[in-house]
Amino acid sequence: MLPEKWENLVGDIKDNFEVREHQKEHSDEQGGTDTETIVFKGPLGKTKLEFITRPVVLDKKTIYSGRIGSETKVEYIYSQDEKSYKLNAYKWSEAEDSWAEINTEGFHK
């Protein structure tokens, strides 16, 4: 899902449903990850959508030494301008008292 579609989806949710929580977070891990979360009461009950934006991984370097017991380290090279996007959807399960993931295949079209 592209950011424009995400913004349209958030606008539709705010117009049609009761929004319980809407927040944006930034983490410097994995090259700089932005996560936007919206929790609302919809037809399926309490629902949470997460839109995750990360830089694309351009290269992966493994740094190691041939010595026994030495440490191995993986270093990632991230793109400065290309981004990858991911949408996660969850439904609140009263029985389990936790979030259950929903298949988001139909959301991307």
- 31 versus 11: the higher-pLDDT residue is 11
pLDDT in tens, 27-86: 988 888 999 999 999 988 999 999 999 999 999 998 887 777 778 888 899 998 999 999
Domain ranges of the chain: 3-54+81-108
> Among candidates 95, 85, 91, which has minimal Cα distance to 43?
91
Residue 81 sits at the vertex; the CA angle it makes with 76 and 85, to the nearest 5 degrees, is 80
- Residue 105: predicted pLDDT: 75
- The pTM is what? 0.80
